[in-house]
Chain A
Amino acid sequence: MTASASDAPGPPAAPVAPDAQVEAEVRRIGEQLAAAFPAASRQPLRALDARAMEMASSDRELRAALFRFVDVVPACRSLDDLARHLVGYLEEVPDASPPISAAMRISGTRAGRAALGAAAAGGVRHLAHRFIIGETPAAALGTLRKLWDGGVASSVDLLGEATVTEAEADRYAQRCLDAVEQLAAATRSWPERPMLEADGAGPLPRANVCVKVSALTPLLRPDAPARGQQDAARRLRPLLRAAQAAGSHLHIDMESLDSREAVLELVLDLLDEDEFREGPSAGLVLQAYLRDSPGQLDQIVAWARATARRPPLTVRLVKGAYWDHELVQARQHGWDVPVFQDKHECDRNFEALTRRLLAARPSLRVAIASHNLRSVAHAIACNRVAGGEDRDLELQVLRGLGDELQHALATLGYRVRTYCPVGDLVAGMAYLVRRLLENTSNDSFLSAQASGVPIEELLAAP
């Protein structure tokens, strides 16, 4: 199922590098990156979080209980209510550890529940602050500026509840519109950062906003993509116009497979409309965990080569955040599982897609979004071996999960962009849980390092 650069339609942009050369480069870059990670001792709070997460990820039931709790916090009406929910979930964890048993004991009294509820809510808020940089784009500007000053670009993602009504879609679209304009205005006075502001294809906007199509319309139906597509289009067009007028980048996120066709067609169709021939800078997402992602890339590359529009479309390559959902849904319905179930297979596909994306430049811009040290080093290495410049490859990380990698990448002078959730903690909870799920089941460099996996192994070809 995996494709190689030679499968890419059209003439190859660069000769395929010998694997040995790439592997040597992967090793060299990976070691440099690892050395540039901040020392844990300098970030005691982070180290504590990392340990807490490691503990949660090693115990499936406990992890489930904590996720269920994080998920329900916004709906709880009092500390007592919080405590009752927490205890309700913990009761379902077999072989509770001593701290959990202690929590359950104090929940026997009203005062105990108030204390437990307050502690738990505080814990969740602490965790949420790690991921969510502000309640509004305006409130997030301080953090965004600090990132910029540290050599890190950003992309703002507006969190919110699911869209089930037209009014909710309108409100989300308005929030996005405001964000596009506010960020563009605020970032104009930022100091110049040449590495973050231009690549070989031209200038790169400082303001960068992500939108979700499922939030732009209540009408997405897996069996009737056109309906949601049309409804989302009438809210996405003004956003594209605003981004063009303000000089912002607009990135359309990809969600579950149920909406993929609608999202992909929507973006490619809209960008081909006459009024968007000269911009704005826009992008979409390719999910490497999908078995048919090479075919999706075929479609994107064919479109990019055929279109007359500029600047080039940015493709953000991710592993994908809906793995459990896709697997469970497919198994419930008796469908072929659409995602790779073998991690190595998935990683190999990620690398194959990376090579093909790099080869598709300058028709496309490439952003590699991964916290996997090997995947990141591989992208950088492939770009270099193919004769590309570092500035023609963007690397992306998630706020709160990829902070150390972000630091290492920025330190070494690569262009790194951090995906920053913005929104209130309540609305952000579901998002948080999803990211946590991904984190605790993934292969983060830190946790691998903490558990003593040697760097050679982390950088080995999948």
Chain B
Amino acid sequence: MPIPFANEPILELRRAAVRAGLQEALDRVDAQLPVEVPVWIGDDARTGAELLSTDPGAPDRLVAAAPTTGPADVEAAVAEAQRGLRTWRAVGAADRAQALIAAAAWMRERRLELTALEVRECAKPWAEADADVCEAIDFLEYYARGAIELGHGRELLQVPGERNELSYHPRGVVAVISPWNFPLAIPCGMASAALAAGNAVVLKPAEQSPGMAQRLVAALRAGGVPPAAISLLPGEGDVGAALVAHPGVHAIAFTGSLAVGRQIVAAAAQVPDGQRHFKQVVAELGGKNCVIVAADADLDEAVPAIVGSAFNYAGQKCSAASRILVHEAIAAQLTERVAGAARTLVVGQAQTLGTDVPPVIERDAQERVARYAAIARSEGRIVAQAPAPGEAGWFCPAIVVADLPPGSAVLEQEIFGPVLAIQAVRDVEQACDVVDELAYALTGGLFTRDPAIVRRVRERTPVGNLYVNRGITGAMVARQPFGGNRLSGTGLKAGGPDYLLQFVEQRAVSENTMRHGLEV
């Protein structure tokens, strides 16, 4: 049994010596760009340069190059996964765990390079990119231990004359469809959970981050996962759709937008003739996350936590804060302080330490954020703006908006960008009503120093992750199992004790132990 789980320590970037290593790592990674990402099916690797990822902060910089995945590749990948499944499921839980732990070690040895590549490919600032790499390592280590535990099955009631067993078995082939915003941790979490439980995986990463996905698959294979059990299909939405529809796929693990999540749930519900199973869908979708600020909140703590939760990584996290619901008695004060703090934000390049708001992922995202900013301007009052630099890159100004009318798209839709709306409420009850009206229920925040208010909001909130007196992003594996309710997701919480259960089927065996009047 491996040693008890502990989170991978994040870099202590407050120390100059630690920071000094970052630029070197970036230089090493830059010297090797672009990353060659193959359509990687079993031992067969086909390279190409039809699908390209570029640096969001410098769109001329090519980060990764991949071929396009075609329908034949999807067929081949599923068939290979079915072969891989036969081998991998036969491997004992302890050995599967060992492979995942070895993959974690592979990542640990290359931490700074992985982080630097993420800075380049996804414009994630150093501290956040580092946290993503650490989270990927955490998922591997955590699910490895979970696999061993699952291998023991569950205790059942035993009576004389029979032996009862409940055991867990892999579902089969799992399609993992992952986003770019946590380009290592999220695909790693979904894939390693499926693998831990003995499934074979076909990974279709976001088209914006194929380079990071290549590193993940390399890590898993280096750790000892058989190539047939982990294939990589770089590509766009059509590849994901083909995988979801494929009758040879047993489960789909998806993290992404609500719109795509809806399509996946609908498509996976189809059971064509010849398909002998229902497909399980594990979906982590969007959020419209509110932070409630009660009248007795400590604003010295609330303001930095709110600003960080809203604007770090340009708000491109499903957990990011997008609305503040503040008690009217302190609304003016909070608004002034949040606005003042937001004005100090530096919108800049991800690789520059001290950048608060990096560019968003791509041109489409920049345009989407601009549309919401225009709505915010016309329907509400912009109370603060941190300007975008005038350089190439998909930069968006950071915006704080107040006085939006009820029903404004800025208040209800997931923007996935650096836009924060502030709204005064009569009291905490009204704030809870507002939260309760939303279709999303992912994360939520509460600032108060009154234990009674904490109890009340805990009771009332539908959100999957409530954070009290702290920022609302940065869930840690094993500490803040992560996932939403309502339209924010279907699944059990990632990084929590039940997550693996979604990737297994159960079998109960009851054996008669009486033979001719003799119990054996």
Contact = CB atoms under 8 A, between A and B. Distances in A.
Contact of B354 (A165, A218, A221, A261): A221
A301 interface: no
Nearest to B294: A75
Q: Which of B14, B336, B449 has the most CB of A within 10 A?
A: B14
A223 B126 contact: yes
Contacts of B295: 75, 77
B451 interface: yes
Nearest to B336: A165
Interface in A257-280: 257-258, 260-261
Interface string A78-90: 0001001100110
Chain A at the B interface: mostly helix, strand, loop or mixed? helix
A448 interface: no
Interface string B452-473: 1000000000000000000000
A335 B9 contact: yes
A167 B344 CA distance: 11
Given A88-B452, A165-B343, A166-B343, A81 B12 contact: no
Contacts of B451: 88-89, 91-92
Contacts of B337: 164-165, 168
Contact of B449 (A71, A161, A164, A335): A71
Contacts of A334: 6-10
A258 B14 contact: yes
B341 A218 contact: yes
B12 A335 contact: yes
A257 B12 CA distance: 11
A81 B163 CA distance: 61
B437 interface: no
Nearest to A258: B14
B152 to A, nearest CB: 28
A42 interface: no
Contacts of A85: 296, 449-450
A70 B294 CA distance: 18
Interface stretch (B34-42, B47-55, B195-203, B297-305): B297-305
B16 interface: yes
Nearest to B354: A224
Interface string A225-263: 111000000000000000000000000000001101100
B344 A88 contact: no
Interface in B284-299: 295-299
A91 B451 CA distance: 9
A29 B329 CA distance: 56
B353 interface: yes
A260 B14 CA distance: 9
Interface in B111-127: 126-127
A161 to B, nearest CB: 5
Contacts of A218: 340-341, 344
Contacts of A167: 340
A162 B300 contact: yes
B271 interface: no
A42 to B, nearest CB: 38
B19 interface: yes
A72 B296 contact: yes
B346 interface: yes
A118 to B, nearest CB: 18
B13 interface: yes
Given A81-B296, A88-B452, A333 B9 contact: yes
Contacts of A257: 14
Contact of A72 (B303, B449, B452): B449
B312 to A, nearest CB: 12
Contacts of A161: 299-300
A420 B435 CA distance: 46
Q: How large is the interface on B (under 10, 10 to 19, 20 to 34, 35 or more residues)?
A: 35 or more
Interface residues of A, number: 37
B76 to A, nearest CB: 42
Nearest to B340: A165
Interface string B371-395: 0000000000000000000000000
Interface in A190-227: 218-219, 221-227
A84 B294 CA distance: 14
A393 to B, nearest CB: 32
Contacts of B7: 334
Contacts of A89: 451
B9 A224 contact: no
A49 to B, nearest CB: 25
A5 B335 CA distance: 53
A165 B299 CA distance: 12
Nearest to B355: A224
A76 B448 CA distance: 11
Task: Output the residue of A75, A77, A85 with the most chain B CB within 10 A.
Answer: A75
A164 B12 contact: no
Contacts of A223: 13-14, 19, 126-127, 353-354
Nearest to B453: A88
Contacts of A166: 340, 343-344
Contacts of A168: 337, 340
A40 to B, nearest CB: 35
A164 B304 contact: yes
A68 interface: yes
Nearest to B304: A164
Nearest to B14: A222
Contact of A68 (B12, B344, B449, B452): B449
Interface in A146-165: 161-162, 164-165
A284 interface: no
A88 to B, nearest CB: 4
A161 B344 CA distance: 18
Interface string B302-343: 011001000000000000000000000100000011011101
A147 to B, nearest CB: 30
A289 B167 CA distance: 53
Given A88-B451, A91-B451, A335-B9, A164 B303 contact: yes
Interface string B4-44: 00111110111110010000000000000000000000000
A227 B354 contact: yes
A214 to B, nearest CB: 11
Nearest to A259: B14
Contacts of B19: 223
Contacts of A75: 295-298, 449
A165 B343 CA distance: 8
Nearest to B6: A334
A333 B337 CA distance: 28
Contact of B346 (A76, A84, A227, A335): A227
A78 B17 CA distance: 50
B7 to A, nearest CB: 6
Contacts of B10: 333-334
Most chain A CB inside 10 Å of its own CB: which residue of B7, B301, B449: B449
A430 interface: yes
Contacts of A162: 300-301, 303-304
A172 to B, nearest CB: 13
A257 to B, nearest CB: 7
Given A88-B450, A161-B299, A334-B10, 9 more contacts: A71-B298, A75-B449, A76-B296, A85-B296, A164-B307, A164-B337, A164-B340, A223-B354, A334-B7
Q: Give the 8 A-B residue pairs with the shortest CB-CB distance, closest first.
A: A165-B340, A224-B354, A334-B9, A222-B14, A223-B13, A162-B300, A88-B451, A72-B449
10 contacts: A72-B296, A75-B295, A77-B329, A84-B450, A162-B301, A164-B304, A164-B340, A224-B353, A334-B9, A335-B12
